């Protein structure tokens, strides 16, 4: 049942994971990434447990907890603050067929903090442990993992990960910044060595995954070797190179035609999957991931950003696809 175990014993290449990103790593984007270079593991965007348990749960399941077989192994990331609700929500997630469940203990956004969830749990270690144990109970044998940061107001790596690693979690991802730092200063990669040391003492089976500012598989390999970690999670790096998880593709050789074709594929799948159920503004944000780093990219992007509807954007992208077919 523990899919993480298939990555042991260590092979030299770290486990490569696409980071959960709200409004970005939805089912459609995960499929687009799969089509050009699949990471070893996908995570969903974070989903509130109270919505999973509410009367309108189908809505949140449609929005955040749908996936296709091609995206496996896939971990559902959930957040909240009530252990009993975590237990119930874990059961729902397990029934949906996910490969694992991850608890978000790192999001710094105020609306989540006000509810005592996500990174607020760093200040409430007893509750954090209760939540993990309750989730494991409800997870029907699925591996439960945690994604978090290295402290709240200041760095407290050892203290905080000791709390987490006293529980039988299967994997622990560290975004190597404090909550107060948001995403600003460079990630404190040197802190991950302390996490490995605590893991070796308290929960040797738990996989340690580092996260923060990594842009390529090569960089991940260097970091994994240097710090003795099991995996690396990459988030914003995918915005600069959607092909990132495919090491055989040199980003310099990706042509404007390739990029525009992939944008069209993304738009078409977005329309087919979500219809008008997901905001067009969310889709528009992706334009920059594809229309970049080639002559006229800025001009084309500006035209695309002026569109008012999904169909309009699809039409203009089709026109450019035809033009680039001829010129490249």
Ligand X SMILES: Cc1cc2nc3c(=O)[nH]c(=O)nc-3n(C[C@H](O)[C@H](O)[C@H](O)COP(=O)(O)O)c2cc1C
Q: What span, in angstroms and rounded, lies between the C-alpha atoms of 265 and 214? A: 26
Least Cβ distance, residue 192 to ligand X (angstroms) = 13
* Listed ranges 17-25, 119-127, 155-163, 317-325: which one lies at the site for ligand X (CB under 6 A): 17-25
Residue whose CB is less far from ligand X, 55 or 184:
184
Alpha carbon dihedral 19, 21, 25, 26, in 10-degree steps, equals: 140
Least Cβ distance, residue 236 to ligand X (angstroms) = 3
Residue whose CB is less far from ligand X, 156 or 258:
156
Least Cβ distance, residue 253 to ligand X (angstroms) = 23
Nearest residue to 265 (alpha-carbon basis) of 23, 35, 39 = 35
Least Cβ distance, residue 87 to ligand X (angstroms) = 21
234 makes contact with ligand X (CB under 6 A): yes
* Closest residue by beta carbon to ligand X: 235
Least Cβ distance, residue 76 to ligand X (angstroms) = 11
191 makes contact with ligand X (CB under 6 A): no
Residues with a known catalytic role: 107
For 138-172, the DSSP string reads: HTTT--EEEEEES-SSS--HHHHHHHHHTS--SEE
- Total of residues contacting ligand X (CB under 6 A): 22
**What residues contact 1, with CB distance under 8 A and at least 6 apart?**
141, 142, 143
Residue whose CB is less far from ligand X, 229 or 260:
229
Residue whose CB is less far from ligand X, 215 or 257:
215
Residue whose CB is less far from ligand X, 98 or 320:
98
284-307 burial string, b = 16+ CB within 10 Å, else e? bebbebbbbebeebeebeebbeeb
DSSP state of 109: -
Secondary structure element (H or E) that encloses residue 234, with its range: strand 231-234
Nearest residue to 169 (alpha-carbon basis) of 118, 201, 129 = 129
Q: What span, in angstroms and rounded, lies between the C-alpha atoms of 264 and 287? A: 10
237 makes contact with ligand X (CB under 6 A): yes
247 makes contact with ligand X (CB under 6 A): no
Structure tokens at 173: 């991802």
* Listed ranges 86-94, 126-134, 228-236, 251-259: which one lies at the site for ligand X (CB under 6 A): 228-236
45 makes contact with ligand X (CB under 6 A): yes
119 makes contact with ligand X (CB under 6 A): no
169 makes contact with ligand X (CB under 6 A): no
Least Cβ distance, residue 311 to ligand X (angstroms) = 25
List the one residue from 64, 143, 235, 256 that touches ligand X (CB under 6 A): 235
List the one residue from 7, 14, 20, 64 that touches ligand X (CB under 6 A): 20
* Rg of the Cα atoms in the chain: 20
Mapped onto helix, strand or coil, the DSSP state of residue 276 is coil
Restricting to residues 193-222, which ones interact with ligand X according to CB under 6 A?
211-214
Nearest residue to 32 (alpha-carbon basis) of 241, 266, 244 = 266
236 makes contact with ligand X (CB under 6 A): yes
Residues lying near ligand X in the complex (CB under 6 A) are found at 19-24, 45-46, 77, 104, 106-107, 147, 175, 211-214, 234-237
């Amino acid at each position: 049942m523990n899919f993480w175990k298939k990555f042991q014993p260590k092979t030299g290449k770290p486990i490569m994971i696409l980071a959960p990103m709200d409004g970005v790593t939805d089912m459609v984007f995960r499929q687009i990434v799969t089509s050009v270079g699949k990471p070893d593991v996908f995570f969903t965007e974070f989903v509130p447990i109270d919505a999973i348990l509410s009367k309108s749960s189908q809505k949140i399941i449609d929005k955040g907890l749908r996936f296709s077989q091609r995206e496996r192994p896939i971990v559902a990331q959930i957040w909240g603050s009530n252990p009993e609700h975590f237990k119930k929500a874990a059961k729902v997630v397990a029934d949906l067929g996910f490969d694992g469940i991850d608890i978000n203990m790192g999001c710094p956004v105020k609306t989540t903090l006000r509810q005592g969830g996500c990174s607020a749990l760093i200040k409430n270690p007893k509750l954090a442990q209760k939540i993990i144990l309750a989730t494991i109970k409800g997870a029907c044998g699925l591996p439960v993992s945690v994604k978090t940061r290295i402290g709240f107001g200041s760095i407290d790596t050892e203290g905080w990960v000791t709390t987490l690693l006293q529980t039988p979690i299967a994997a622990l991802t560290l975004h190597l910044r404090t909550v107060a730092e948001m995403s600003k200063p460079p990630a404190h990669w040197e802190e991950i060595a302390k996490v490995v040391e605590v893991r070796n003492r308290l929960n040797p089976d738990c996989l340690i995954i580092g996260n923060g500012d990594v842009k390529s598989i090569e960089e991940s390999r260097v970091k994994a070797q240097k710090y003795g970690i099991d995996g690396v999670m990459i988030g914003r790096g995918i915005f600069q190179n959607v092909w990132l998880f495919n090491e055989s593709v040199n980003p310099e050789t990706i042509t404007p035609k390739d990029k525009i074709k992939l944008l069209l594929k993304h738009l078409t799948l977005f329309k087919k999957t979500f219809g008008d159920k997901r905001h067009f503004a969310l889709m528009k944000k992706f334009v920059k991931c594809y229309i970049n780093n080639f002559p006229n990219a800025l001009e084309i992007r500006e035209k695309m950003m002026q569109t008012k509807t999904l169909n309009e954007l699809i039409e203009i992208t089709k026109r450019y696809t035809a033009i680039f077919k001829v010129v490249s």
